Amino acid sequence: MAKAKQTYTKAGYDKLIGEYDYLVKVRREEILKDLSTAKAFGDLSENSEYDDARNEQAKVEARIKELENLIANAQIWDDTTANPDIIALGSHVSATFVDVDGSTEDVNYIIVGSNEVDPENGKISDRSPIGMKLHGLKKGAEVTIDTPAGEVKIIVKDVTRPEKAE
């Protein structure tokens, strides 16, 4: 069964390629040097440096395989044809959340593919409950979303699509 395509922003795809290139061209060589150095210590059966290097090699090779799979199944979102005023993948969204008790919180999000999520940097998935509710909205739109704490109203203050997504 073919794996489903995963959508990425251009920046997210470039990050995958960058990590892959680093692991293949730099990290593999570093591990080979570590293995060579550890072998020089002698008896491999009681050589913790050698075991550590082999474990690191296994982790790096597993990540390389994972990245190859992600890259092979990646679909880059072409935002050149997207309306910059409508929230979609790659949009930067400024919004106000109004809680059930009337308290407000201003938030800034970047809508990204599900493999690019980074909540600490405001990157939320287009498939998350908030991302799905925001999709297709414009500046000034209001939408309500159910949360475990109750309903929250989201008011879209601004939508931008920077030339170079973060």
pLDDT per residue over 22-51, tens digit each? 999 999 999 999 999 888 877 767 778 888
Q: Does residue 19 surpass a pLDDT of 90?
A: yes
Q: Which pLDDT score is estimated for 1?
A: 52
Q: Does residue 130 surpass a pLDDT of 70?
A: yes
Q: Are 130 and 154 in contact (CB under 8 A)?
A: yes
CATH number for the segment(s) 6-76: 1.10.287.180
The CATH number for 92-160, chosen from 3.10.50.30, 3.10.310.30, 3.10.20.30, 3.40.1050.10, is 3.10.50.30
pLDDT per residue over 51-83, tens digit each? 889 999 999 999 999 999 999 999 998 777 778
Specify the pTM. 0.73
